[in-house]
Amino acid sequence: MSGQHFSIAIDGPSGAGKSTLSEQLARELGFLHVDTGAIYRTVGLAASRRGISKEDPQAIAGLLPELEISLQFGEDGTQRMLLNGEDVTQAIRMHEISAWASVVSAIPAVREFLLDMQRRLAREHNVIMDGRDIGTVVLPQADLKIYLTADPEDRARRRYLELVARGQQAEQAQILQDVLERDRRDMERTVAPLRRAEDAVLADTTGKSQEESFQLLLSLIRSHLERKQGGPLS
């Protein structure tokens, strides 16, 4: 165990179902779910509101001292994001903020700025933390690392259905392009690129329903935690 608490790192490309599955798993196991993508999205939202160019990393980094970012967890474990006191939980889910989050997340100063916040949460709680670099950078000592992935077409289709369900306009071909572009940016960036940690278990959810994916991950986590604890989990 890393300290007093269990930590489970779930990394993988966008649209693989990390957040939804992590939230469901955390509820089942009584862990705190930390969605680190939401933290990068919050920085992205702040930058987009200032009208900064996406090509101007220095201006984006210069914004950091003015940002007070915090996470709140509801009774049911739902994570809310606060930006300088404003609840931006909904606003960060807008489609254009995905691209912004990807841009700001490639800036070393932004990653450094958010590192402590993430590590502190894992020190203080049993966490399922999902992101891109949790197993490789944020929590290299995590008790269990999972690399969750699915084919790009599958991930684009899920994202499309998600946006439509939220009443947002979406075009499937465009979303596939966005998914591929984000994969490329997340994997090719020099700082904390998305990659599978050597000791991460690979879970591929292509063609699987959410329930099937959930059961797959739950049994993986349960058997791992039981082995660590030396007995079945209650």
Candidates 32, 34, 46, 101; binder of ligand DC (CB under 6 A) is 101
Minimum CB distance to ligand DC, residue 233 (Å): 27
Q: Which residue, 77 or 227, is less far from ligand DC as judged by CB?
A: 77
Nearer to ligand DC, 143 or 231 (CB): 143
Task: Quote the least distance from Cβ 114 to ligand DC, whole Å.
Answer: 8
Residue list 184-213, contact with ligand DC (CB under 6 A): 186
Task: Write the binding mask 124 to 163 for ligand DC: x where contact by CB under 6 A, - elsewhere.
Answer: -------xxxx-----------------------------
Strands 86-87 and 127-131: unpaired
Distance CA 107, CA 70 (A): 20
In sequence order, the 6+-apart residues with CB closer than 8 A to the CB of 62 are none
182 binds ligand DC (CB under 6 A): yes
- Smaller CB distance to ligand DC: residue 41 or 125? 41
Cα distances (angstroms) measured from residue 219 to each of 65, 90, 101, 170, 212: 43, 32, 32, 35, 11
As given in the structure block, the two tokens for residue 41 are: 């999205």
**Can you spell out the DSSP letters for 97-130?**
HHHHHHHHHT-HHHHHHHHHHHHHHHHHS-EEEE
Nearer to ligand DC, 2 or 222 (CB): 2
In whole angstroms, what is the distance from residue 224 CA to residue 42 CA? 33
| Pair of tokens at residue 79 | 């994570």
Residue for token digits 């000791």?
199
Stretch that binds ligand DC, among 25-33, 99-107, 167-175, 209-217 (CB under 6 A): 99-107
State the minimum distance, in angstroms, from the CB of residue 101 to ligand DC.
4
Cβ nearer to ligand DC, comparing 135 with 225: 135
Residue choice 25, 26, 32, 37 for contact with ligand DC (CB under 6 A)? 37
Q: CA-based angle 17:21:26, to the nearest 5?
A: 150
- How many Cβ atoms from other residues are within 10 Å of residue 87's Cβ? 11
Number of residues that bind ligand DC (CB under 6 A): 15
- Tell me: does residue 12 bind ligand DC (CB under 6 A): no
Owner of token pair 């089942």: 28
**Within positions 39 to 78, which residues make up the interface with ligand DC, using CB under 6 A?**
40-41
Task: Report the alpha-carbon distance of residue 8 to residue 225 in Å, rounded.
Answer: 10
Question: Which residues are near ligand DC by CB under 6 A?
Answer: 14, 36-37, 40-41, 98, 101-102, 105, 131-134, 182, 186
